[in-house]
Amino acid sequence: MQLYSIETGFFKLDGGAMFGVVPKSMWNKLNPADENNLCTWSMRCLLIVDGERKILIDCGMGNKQSEKFFSHYHPHGNHSLLSSLREKGFQPEDITDLILTHLHFDHCGGAVYNDNETYALIFPHATIWSNENHWKWAIEPNDREKASFLKENIIPLQESGQLKFIKEENGRLTPFTKHIDIRFVQGHTRSMMLPQIKINGKTIVYMADLIPSAAHIPLPYVMAYDMFPMKTLEEKKDFLEEAVEKEFILFFEHDPSDSCCIVEKTEKGFRKKASVPSTSIGIN
């Protein structure tokens, strides 16, 4: 099995929204804001080559939205989904599976492109994986979250015939392949999926938006974007206890500099113990 970090570029989000109740005087030291209070974040995906399967986890925001839409999020950087895949030696046609942790635009938008005013899938041969609870939540969105669920990102997945659902096991990991299990969490949005990958005797957990960056490891650092922040707090605590005990490696989707780290529990609570170079754990 081989792993590849796939960079799809950077974007900006309001620092206060990203750090919730934590004062700017504290979070600004971790990810300094610009003059508009915006912080830069990565949209980092993970490609798993497991036998004949090439499994991509998330796919960035894509480039099909309007100029007005992008003016709110300022996508930038030298990387894109397709250029990063090709740099690693892969074509869109090679991807056999796309796991979408959830259907917010910055995680799933890259799956669909605008082809002469119609929508088509970037990965023509891939099975697209979501789950029933989250799918229903996304296509019937609440007023607070609906700006993150864009129909042009979601409906084409269903219309393609390539969409399938992973069964959610209450309180348990759901096996996906021999080496990948799915952990379900409920705080950020309903039934977000965190893939857990076993490789070379280690466990790497793709954190999605439970812990979007290393700066979000301390328990009070919960995003204002989360639908159920107290649930996030509970899930973070349970997960981090397990991560310390089992020496999990956390793979961050949104951290602008650290892709991986391990955690420790100190007298001040959970903290990053050390960054982990991705190449040292077999991530190309």
CB contact at 8 A, 105 and 150: yes
Q: Which three-class secondary structure state does DSSP give residue 234?
A: helix
* Tens digit of each residue's pLDDT (9 = 90 or more) over 41-92: 999 999 999 999 999 999 999 999 999 999 999 999 999 999 999 999 999 9
Q: CB-based contacts of 165: which residues, under 8 Å, 6+ apart?
A: 129, 130, 131, 132, 135
* Tens digit of each residue's pLDDT (9 = 90 or more) over 109-156: 999 999 877 899 999 999 999 999 999 999 999 999 999 999 999 999
**pLDDT, position 161:** 96
**pLDDT, position 267:** 96
**pLDDT, position 117:** 79
CB contact at 8 A, 169 and 182: no
Question: What are φ and ψ of residue 250, in 5° steps?
Answer: -90, 125
Share of the chain above pLDDT 70, in %: 100
The CATH number of the domain holding residue 97 is 3.60.15.10
Give the C-alpha distances (Å, rounded to integers) separating 226 from 18, 102, 129, 190, 198: 9, 13, 22, 10, 28
Instruction: Evaluate if pTM is beyond 0.95.
Output: yes
Residue 170 pLDDT level (bands cut at 50, 70, 90): confident
Host domain of residue 263: 2-281
Longest pairwise C-alpha distance within the chain: 58
Count of structural domains, the chain: 1
Tokens of 168: 């959610």
